[in-house]
Amino acid sequence: MTDAANTYSGPQRILSGMQPTGQLHLGNYLGALVNWVALQERGAECFYCIVDLHAITMPHDPKALPDAVRSAAAAYMAAGVDPSRSAVFAQSAVPAHAELAWIFQCVARLGWLERMTQFKDKTGKDAERASVGIFTYPVLQAADILVYKATHVPVGEDQKQHLELARDIAARFMREFDCEGAFPLPEPVIQGPGARIMSLRDGTKKMSKSDESDASRINLVDDADTIARKIKKAKTDPEPLPETAEGLQNRPEAANLAGIYAALAGTSLETVLTEFGGKGFGVFKPALADLAVAKLAPISAEYRRLTGDPAEIDRILQRGAERARAVAAPVIAEAKKIVGFWG
Ligand code: TYM
């Protein structure tokens, strides 16, 4: 991990992204989107992309990809991203991401990528058959961030290692080419009880789009009955909720449900346990279901409204891409000059 000092003095900028694969779920919302919106509301300059270049590192259906991008854009906006303030765009619409990724591939070291746990998780024993893209995936992620000189990156806990790599790449680029201060060392914004939402079927596994059980996750588009049913069926243990957070140790399912409640209510785990400590899941689950429905129903209604007008989503993505290209253009030009490209 880099211990280089951050000597960058440019403006604060926020960048984050999600893969347009599968439906966005509660983990994406509480781990990332909530913080995206909070940063936007604080007046920061925000870039929120849909990472379709990353999506093709795994087998995908080319016919379904454009709609998956529109659907992710609609979910961002339904969750509160305002495209008149934050740039919402497809990563593939800004070629500078891929250009900077190539430069960074020549800066990052093979050993760094070999240590990435997500690569190991995604490919398992089949690493030899994985695409090269899935291996260099985190380098493209570093380019996504640094092509805007983004200083802050709101993500869930699972992205921490990729963010450290982005800092390492920025630091090495500046050392190697003697251009200190050219890039910020981007700071991850990983905060709140929503940073790591686990599966409803197994509290030791991350809630994920790729889990084959739909009951393991709450999708942002689930209707009220589905949300309530999934919470009712969520795995728990027979004990009542404890009164303090220490009492959640070795109780992954209880910890997860209490964490989801805290994140949805915008409060701390301690506050939730003060209210529900000593109460069983027969009381807690209906309260959680009511809260989840109250928070998510407006999002899913807005999502449905937005996806009803794909032409408008395309206009928003166009405008977002124009803004993003304008900010990325001088950065990629500077990076090309630093490495000595002709012209
Ligand atoms: P992705 O598409 O897997 O997830 C999008 C965001 O949702 C967060 N997240 C979660 N947070 C809490 N609990 C969970 N169970 C959970 N599942 C997902 C993720 O941490 C992420 O913030 N590599 C990224 C996409 C990416 C990116 C970037 C992110 C590409 N370029 C540049 C930031 C900056 C990914 O696969 O996210």
* Catalytic (active site) residue 122: yes
Q: Which of 134, 144, 155, 161 to mutate to test the pocket of ligand 1 (most atoms within 8 A of CB)?
A: 155
- Cβ 17 vs Cβ 153: under 8 Å: no
Q: Which of 205, 209, 235, 285 is catalytic?
A: 209
For residue 277, list its beta bridge partners.
none
Q: Per residue in 68-79, pLDDT tens? A: 999 999 999 999
User: To test the ligand 1 pocket, which listed residue (46, 158, 163) has its Cβ within 8 A of the most ligand atoms?
Assistant: 158
User: Is 209 labeled as catalytic in the residue annotation?
Assistant: yes
pLDDT in tens, 165-210: 999 999 999 999 999 999 999 999 999 999 999 999 999 999 999 8
Res 1: pLDDT: 56
CA distance 283 to 341: 65
**Which H/E stretch holds residue 324?**
helix 310-339
Identify which of 15, 16, 18 to mutate to test ligand 1's pocket (most ligand atoms within 8 A of the CB): 18
List of residues 6+ apart from 291 with CB closer than 8 A: 261, 264, 265
Q: Tell me, in angstroms, the distance from the centre of ligand 1 to residue 47's CA.
A: 15
Residue 162 and residue 261: Cα distance in Å, rounded?
28
19 Cα–ligand 1 center, Å: 7
Percentage of residues in the chain having pLDDT higher than 90: 92
Using DSSP, state whether 50 is helix, strand or coil: strand
Ligand 1 centroid distance, CA of 160 (Å) = 10
Atom of ligand 1 nearest to the CA of 155: 22
Pocket lined around ligand 1, Cβ cut-off 6 Å: 15-19, 27-28, 31-32, 51, 54, 141, 144-145, 153, 155-156, 158-159, 162, 195-197, 206-207
Ligand 1, residue 32: give the atom nearest the CA: 22
What is the whole-number distance in angstroms between the Cα of residue 201 and the centre of ligand 1?
20
Rounded to whole angstroms, the Cα distance separating 13 from 36 reads 12
Report the atom number in ligand 1 closest to the C-alpha of 197.
13
Q: pLDDT at position 104, please? A: 98
Contacts of residue 54, defined as CB under 8 A and 6 or more positions apart, other chains included, come to 17, 19, 91, 137, 140, 141
Q: Which of 149, 160, 205, 206 is catalytic?
A: 206
Please state the atom number of ligand 1 nearest to the C-alpha of residue 138.
23
DSSP letter assigned to residue 31: I
**Digit-coded pLDDT (tens) for 209-252:** 989 999 999 999 999 999 999 999 999 999 999 999 999 999 99
- Ligand 1 centroid vs 280 CA: distance in angstroms? 33
Output the pTM of the full model: 0.96
Q: What pLDDT score was predicted for residue 2?
A: 59
The one-letter amino acid code at 135 reads: F
Q: Whole-number mean pLDDT of the chain? A: 96
Residue 4 predicted with pLDDT over 80? no
Which residue, judged by its Cα, is nearest atom 22 of ligand 1? 155
Q: Which residues of 259-292 are buried (b: 16+ CB within 10 A; e: fewer)?
A: bbbbbbbeeebeebbeebeeeebeebbeebbeeb
Does the pLDDT value for residue 3 go beyond 70? no
Say which residues have a Cβ less than 8 Å from residue 253's Cβ, sequence separation at least 6: 198, 202, 203, 234, 235, 236, 237
Which of the residues 122, 235, 285, 336 is marked catalytic?
A: 122
Tell me if 174 sits within 8 A of 180, measured CB to CB: yes
User: Where does residue 331 rank: exposed (0-12), middle (13-18), buried (19+ CB within 10 A)?
Assistant: middle
